[in-house]
Amino acid sequence: MAFIDIEDLEVTFEGSGRQVRALKGVSLAVGEEESFGIVGESGSGKSTVLRALCGLAPVTGGRISIAGEPVQAPRDAVFYRRVQMVFQDPYASLHPRHTVDRVLSEPLAIHGFDHAEDRVEQALEDVGLGSGFRFRYPHQLSGGQRQRVAIARALILEPKVILLDEPTSALDASIQAEVLNLLDRLRAERGLTYVLVSHDLAVVSHMCDRLVVMQGGEVVEQLTREALQAHATTEDYTRNLLTASEGFTRDPALQR
């Protein structure tokens, strides 16, 4: 029995007489303490899977269950104790007029945690920021530091599952390495389950044991890291993605 079980998930967005089927029957199974990747291009529905999981997208069909229990709609507090999300853009996902302290204290207050003071200090320590950052505003932080705060905010409720939506694509290469290392370390220390969405095959291959490739709202292929590294793909689409990720090749014959 998989830890996160998604079956035939459908998401349809409606607006001004138009329907967009963003997910057309997606099924995934993520094991406990596994790191699972979702790759695809813009519009493939990869982020929508995460948003549907945590109740931010209009689910129109299919089932989602976590640890054997179907999730409630709307999601209850117990769900968010267990599942937290880190968003792509650290410049947009932190409240510009809340200090780091407030960002981190709010979830603690909502879920009735004790020792809020210590927990905030500890969370900052865990993501490598230290208490000096506690009373700063987001604009006083760099992109990498903001993403660390976003990770601290997700971790402070001691969840089991972290949904990561392009956690490093807004960051510089050297900062990306630091954040990926941090995520890797936290998972090993706490036995977290990750679902990581990225357009970058290299990042997914580095972080995840298994992955799916999505295109046009459907899962095209499921792969293990070893299969990806060995280029053992059966789908042309995945192969194209792989070649494209390896950089520019001058000879067009090689590209095709």
| Binding stretches for other proteins (CB under 8 A) | 41-42, 143, 172-174, 176-178, 180-181, 184-185, 199, 201-203, 205-207, 228-229, 240-242, 244-250, 252, 255
Shortest reach from residue 175's CB to other proteins, in Å:
8
Token pair 């769900």 in the structure block, residue: 79
Shortest reach from residue 206's CB to other proteins, in Å:
4
19 or 42: whose CB is closer to other proteins? 42
Shortest reach from residue 20's CB to other proteins, in Å:
14
DSSP one-letter code for 72: P
Q: Note the helical H segments in the chain.
A: 46-53, 77-82, 100-110, 116-126, 143-155, 173-190, 201-207, 225-229, 236-245, 252-255
147 or 176: whose CB is closer to other proteins? 176
98 or 199: whose CB is closer to other proteins? 199
72 or 181: whose CB is closer to other proteins? 181
Q: CA–CA separation, 117 vs 120, rounded Å?
A: 5
66 or 195: whose CB is closer to other proteins? 195
69-70, strands of its sheet edge to edge: 18-30, 4-15, 59-66, 69-70
From the number of C-beta atoms within 10 Å of its C-beta (0-12, 13-18, 19+), residue 122 rates as middle
Shortest reach from residue 152's CB to other proteins, in Å:
19
Q: Look up residue 146 and give its amino acid.
A: R
Q: CA–CA separation, 102 vs 108, rounded Å?
A: 10
Shortest reach from residue 58's CB to other proteins, in Å:
23
Q: CA–CA separation, 213 vs 66, rounded Å?
A: 22
Shortest reach from residue 71's CB to other proteins, in Å:
31
46 or 160: whose CB is closer to other proteins? 46
